[in-house]
Structure 1
């Protein structure tokens, strides 16, 4: 029986020590360089896209990942075992015990870190899709031919399961970086959406994480008002609230963020996790 009562003090302590953030932005806006804002001693970067060139002087630890199977192992070591998982499933106690025994150095490293920076969720879905296409579910039972819908369904289920497992990682703040892409319909209407394989994982992601943040470039009008200008803007900002005037994906579960915030992940985390003011 894993049921237990969590006291208010315990809950507040956990809330102050962990959060999950999906950080999306156009290519080249500086998402990966936000790693430099985080304390190297507390942070590990999971590098799925060989994109560490922009932060090559960052003195923290990174783990390169080139296939979905390796990412599943890392997620298991970060989040521990899932008591609800079947014995043969990803993230079960048997799965965790097996790979923890194979990689004690990773267990030790991850245990010493409080922040996991995953770069990027876009590449995670690409790797997951490459894996899914090789699984039995990706082939028709009748004809034996590839079944694209089956592959996409499997990919979405496994990616969502992995992200939920990271969400439950005890004492870990998880920051998932991804590409934000521009879509223009036949009527010229512009929308911005996370770039991910398939649609299901992208639709469910906001319900999994605590915060959805869009990072982009802005310009200032003469009166100081911000204007979204991803091509010529010079000011980087985080957009943090749903229903914002820029039409960018965002969500603030903490209720502590303004519509936009300075592009500084460390400052953002401090604001999210600041102790609540005492009730008078």
Structure 2
């Protein structure tokens, strides 16, 4: 194996300066419309929700994805073969070569290579598709009785989704944005928490450790002192970017360049994460 050394200058170049970002928000808050704040010519949306109605006028391209197997094939075409995998495995060199041959006339590989940003809408639906896939695999059935084994299906679901996300995260020069549903959970004592909505618990637990940034999108209003307060009836959208925030929303800023909340503009947000914009903006709280 040949080891590749990346210098500080290379790390700041367009080929290496990429970001992986997970954005969670309640239904209807406008997560998909964030596409409009990204450069259309550099972005592709992997549409797992059939939910492009809100961005019909967006000039970028999208690819409908109906199954986890299709999503996995796209991930392999985007990220190339994984040298750590067996050549005949889903992410191995032989399967990647087979996919290239299958899609040689479609131009899909060249199209994907031309896109710097991959917008996955949504990771919530991805886990649902993965669960449908997992339930059909041998691991989802008991070897002793032949009956469905729910634990086996959930175990396979977690492994498959995490492997796909990690493979996409390693794609060279690709900024990857995952969006998902943020669910409001109230326990028997009336305590409210916000949790990413996904099938199975493994993906939800491990995703924050995979991506560089975790952001929650919510509706806010100003209080009497002019501070932001979470208000589900308000109309002002904000991106909550730091852990330990006053609203206990899921968030993580590995870059250290973001404020507690930011405006819902992914182009500006990515520029700030990459250090290509001032550390303060007129919209920062």
- TM-score range (shorter-chain normalised) is over 0.9
Partner of 1:127: 129
- Show the 5 A alignment for 1:108-123: 108-123=110-125
CA distance in 2, matches of 1:106, 1:245: 44
Partner of 2:142: 140
Offset of residue 13 of structure 1 = 2.1
Offset of residue 17 of structure 1 = 3.2
CA distance in 1, matches of 2:102, 2:262: 42
**Stretch deviating more after TM superposition (236-245 or 4-13):** 4-13
Partner secondary structure for residue 88 of structure 2: coil
Residues 10-60 of structure 1 show CA distances to partners (whole Å, capped at 9, x for unaligned) of 123258731000010000000000001111100001000100000011111
CA distance in 1, matches of 2:5, 2:268: 32
Q: How many residues align?
A: 276
Aligned equivalent of 2:182, options 180, 183, 186: 180
Aligned equivalent of 1:107, options 103, 106, 109: 109
**Stretch deviating more after TM superposition (245-254 or 4-13):** 4-13
Offset of residue 95 of structure 1 = 1.4
- Show the 5 A alignment for 1:16-95: 17-95=17-95
Q: Contact between 2:38 and 2:266, CA under 8 Å: does it hold in 1?
A: yes
Distance 1:268 1:275, change over 3 A: closer
Offset of residue 168 of structure 1 = 0.3
Gaps spanning 5+ residues in structure 1: where?
none
Q: Contact between 2:16 and 2:173, CA under 8 Å: does it hold in 1?
A: no
Distance 1:14 1:59, change over 3 A: closer
Distance 1:237 1:276, change over 3 A: closer
Name the TM-score, length of structure 2 as normaliser: 0.94
Determine whether 1:263 maps to 2:264: yes
Partner of 2:155: 153
CA distance in 1, matches of 2:264, 2:16: 21
CA distance in 2, matches of 1:21, 1:275: 17
**Stretch deviating more after TM superposition (12-21 or 87-96):** 12-21
CA distance in 1, matches of 2:15, 2:275: 10
CA distance in 1, matches of 2:4, 2:71: 31
Residues 53-109 of structure 1 show CA distances to partners (whole Å, capped at 9, x for unaligned) of 000111111100000100000000111110001122121111111112212311011
RMSD value, Cα: 1.4
CA distance in 2, matches of 1:161, 1:2: 24
Q: Contact between 2:43 and 2:117, CA under 8 Å: does it hold in 1?
A: yes
Determine whether 1:240 maps to 2:241: yes
Name the TM-score, length of structure 1 as normaliser: 0.96
CA distance in 2, matches of 1:259, 1:85: 39
CA distance in 2, matches of 1:15, 1:211: 19
Deviation >6 Å, runs of 4+: none
CA distance in 2, matches of 1:56, 1:12: 34
CA distance in 1, matches of 2:21, 2:14: 15
Determine whether 1:170 maps to 2:169: no
Offset of residue 126 of structure 1 = 0.2
